[in-house]
Amino acid sequence: MTKTLPSLGLITVLALTGCGGNLDSDDSGTAAAAYPERAVTLLIGQDAGGSTDLIGRALADPASTDLKQPITVQNRPGANGAVAAKELAAAKPDGYTIMVFVGSLAYITPLAVPADQAVDINNYEVVTGISQDDFVLIAHPQTGFTTVKDIVDAKRPIKFATTGVGTGSQLTQTLLFNQAGVDATAVPFNGGAPALTAVLGGQVDVAAVQLGEAKQQIEAGKATPIVTFATQRPTYMPDTPTATEAGYNVPVQQSRAIVAPKGTPKEVIDRLRTAFGKSFADQDYQTFNAERLLTANEVDGAALLQQWNGSLSTYKDLVAQHKIDLSGK
């Protein structure tokens, strides 16, 4: 973390980063064997301070110790990571530019944006999977909802908050209420925190947010968990059923992976995977995962592609089957 840099020093650093970015010599052909010879840039497509950013930073430290080169974390927020993904695609495939890629960009956003803006994960090399984040459906205690059946039996139109259009929060709830035959209106908010506030303030009936975001309020009894959308009950919430157990087919998760540009040499990918393996084994990182209720998904590139491509086709089918339009038009 660079949080303690005094501002004068920062000015110098800013000036240096401002003009030192693209001076590297062209040696990608012979570089693979000696990799890494200099700092590796880790792009993050989300704002500093968010879940993805924190995960990237938690991984960077132990991995850079193993690589014996610094890993520079750079945030390029925009369009759920599409801005960073575009930059990564244009970067030289030499292993010096990699990115923390969010799964929703690969398998949910394409359902909501025009085809020319959709990002295809198959145009990148996957270094390794990282972890999965589960969504939980929460309700304001005053609604009296504790199960999906309660919502169905209420026989009234409900309002649900989502964390935005083209997010897992929207997809999970749209699929659930569609399958349950509930007359539900989506109210999109900008991120997890405002969606959670809308439930706490009673402005909406329910919302689906990531487990880690709702943990505190659930423990305080200010929000009632109804179902999680995990494939099996997360160890952190053993008493809350999954949507599958409740009888609905909504297997939606947020997932993250380390990704490199297409054409990065296999030796470089393997070297990076070894380095991030050190991070996964790191005690501090494991504590971090437990605190944020993240489930490890440290699979290799091939397995991850299979997961994500599978998710995309599953969601495409489900969305088509239930005639859902995520773009809300």
Partner 1 sequence: MSEVIDGFAVVLEPTNLLYCLVGVVIGMLIGVLPGLGPAATIAILLPLTFGLEPVTAIIMLAGIFYGAQYGGTITSVLLRLPGEASSVVTVFDGHALARQGRAGTALGIAAIGSFVGGTLAIVALTFVAPLVAEFALDFGPPEYTALALLGILLVSTISSGGRLRALTAAAIGLLLATVGRDDFTSAERFTLGNLSLADGLDFVPIAMGLFGLGEILYNLEERHRTVHAPATVANVWPSRTDLKQSGGAIGRGSVLGFFLGILPGGGAVLASLAAYALEKRRSKHPERFGNGAIEGVAAPETANNAAATSSFIPLLSLGIPANATMAVIFGALLIQGVTPGPQLITENPELFWGVVNSMYLGNILLLIMSIPLVGLFVRILRIRATVLAPITVLITLVGAYTVNNSVFDIGLVIAFGVLGYLMKKAGFDPGPMVLAFVLGSLLETSLRRSLLLFDGDPTGFVTRPISGVLLAVLIAVILLPAAQLLRRRTQAAPPATAAASLTGATQEPGPAPAAEAEAAATTPATTTTADRTIRREEPHP
Contact status: 31 vs partner 1 (CB under 8 A): no
**Single residue of 189, 236, 276, 308 touching partner 1 by CB under 8 A:** 189
Give, for 9, the enclosing helix (H) or strand (E). Answer: helix 7-19
Between 159 and 278, name the residue whose CB sits nearer to partner 1.
159
Contact status: 142 vs partner 1 (CB under 8 A): no
Contact status: 18 vs partner 1 (CB under 8 A): yes
**Single residue of 70, 77, 241, 277 touching partner 1 by CB under 8 A:** 77
Distance of alpha carbon 78 from the chain centroid: 14
Contact status: 101 vs partner 1 (CB under 8 A): no
Residues recorded for the chain: 329
Contact status: 2 vs partner 1 (CB under 8 A): yes
Minimum distance, C-beta of residue 193 to partner 1, in the bound complex (Å): 7
Between 162 and 311, name the residue whose CB sits nearer to partner 1.
162
Footprint of partner 1 on residues 169-188 (CB under 8 A)?
185-188
Residues 6+ apart with CB under 8 A from 252: 108, 135, 168, 171, 172, 175, 229, 311, 315
Q: What stretches of 122-265 show up as alpha helix (H) in DSSP?
A: 148-154, 168-180, 192-200, 211-219
Query: Which tokens in the block code for residue 283?
Result: 């005690």
Contact status: 164 vs partner 1 (CB under 8 A): yes
Residues 6+ apart with CB under 8 A from 256: 52, 55, 100, 101, 102, 103, 129, 130, 131, 132, 133
Minimum distance, C-beta of residue 191 to partner 1, in the bound complex (Å): 8
Contact status: 82 vs partner 1 (CB under 8 A): yes
Give, for 146, the enclosing helix (H) or strand (E). Answer: none
Q: Which residues of 167-176 are buried (b: 16+ CB within 10 A; e: fewer)?
A: bbbbbbbbbb
Pick from 93, 52, 95, 58: nearest CA to 75: 52
Contact status: 3 vs partner 1 (CB under 8 A): yes
Count the site residues for partner 1 by CB under 8 A. Answer: 52
**Single residue of 27, 37, 47, 153 touching partner 1 by CB under 8 A:** 47
Contact status: 70 vs partner 1 (CB under 8 A): no
Footprint of partner 1 on residues 272-301 (CB under 8 A)?
none
Minimum distance, C-beta of residue 27 to partner 1, in the bound complex (Å): 24
Contact status: 310 vs partner 1 (CB under 8 A): no
Contact status: 79 vs partner 1 (CB under 8 A): yes
DSSP letter string, 32-95: HHH--SSPEEEEESS-TTSHHHHHHHHHHHHHHHHHTS-EEEEE---GGGHHHHHHHHHS-SSS
Binding site for partner 1 (CB under 8 A): 2-5, 7, 10-11, 14-15, 17-18, 47-50, 74-79, 82-83, 86, 112-114, 117, 157, 159, 164-166, 185-190, 193-194, 197-198, 200-204, 326-329
